[in-house]
Amino acid sequence: MADLIKIVGVALVTVVAFLLVKQTRPEIAMLISIAGSILIILLSINTLTSVITQFNKIFEATGVNASILLPILKIIAIGYVVEFGANICLDAGANSIADKILFAGKLIILLIALPIINRVIDMVVGLL
């Protein structure tokens, strides 16, 4: 809960600073937005560590092959990085570039997911 309060605090300070500077120095306002976003991500690292630990516990409890864990975590990380990059582009008014980032991220996620999909299909076919 304390981390969430810190994150919301940083977000509010970033937004206020962004709005104050935006009219006179839009390039500085964009840097403020990026810096605030990076700080929020850094404040979220503890939560990310907890999520990874919980994933490990789930895989250990279910007996699912742990080699599936790494691609799943990669897919989640790619989703967040892509969203972060696209949102920065949207904030800068570069909607077309944001769309391309989202498209590329989806393709990369599909590429990483294909081996998992193949394993699931193999397991289903093996049950039949």
Segment 51-89, tens digit of pLDDT: 888 878 887 887 777 677 788 888 998 999 999 899 988
Segment 22-43, tens digit of pLDDT: 899 988 998 998 899 899 989 9
Of 11-20, 47-56, 61-70, 103-112, the poorest mean pLDDT is in 61-70
Distance CA 118, CA 43 (A): 36
Do 123 and 77 fall into the same domain? yes
Number of domains in the chain: 2
DSSP the chain: -HHHHHHHHHHHHHHHHHHHHHTT-HHHHHHHHHHHHHHHHHHTHHHHHHHHHHHHHHHHHHT--GGGHHHHHHHHHHHHHHHHHHHHHHHTT-HHHHHHHHHHHHHHHHHHHHHHHHHHHHHHHHH-
Do 66 and 23 fall into the same domain? no
Do 126 and 63 fall into the same domain? yes
- In which domain, by residue range, is 83 found? 49-128
Do 72 and 115 fall into the same domain? yes
Do 76 and 37 fall into the same domain? no
The answer to whether the pTM exceeds 0.75 is: no
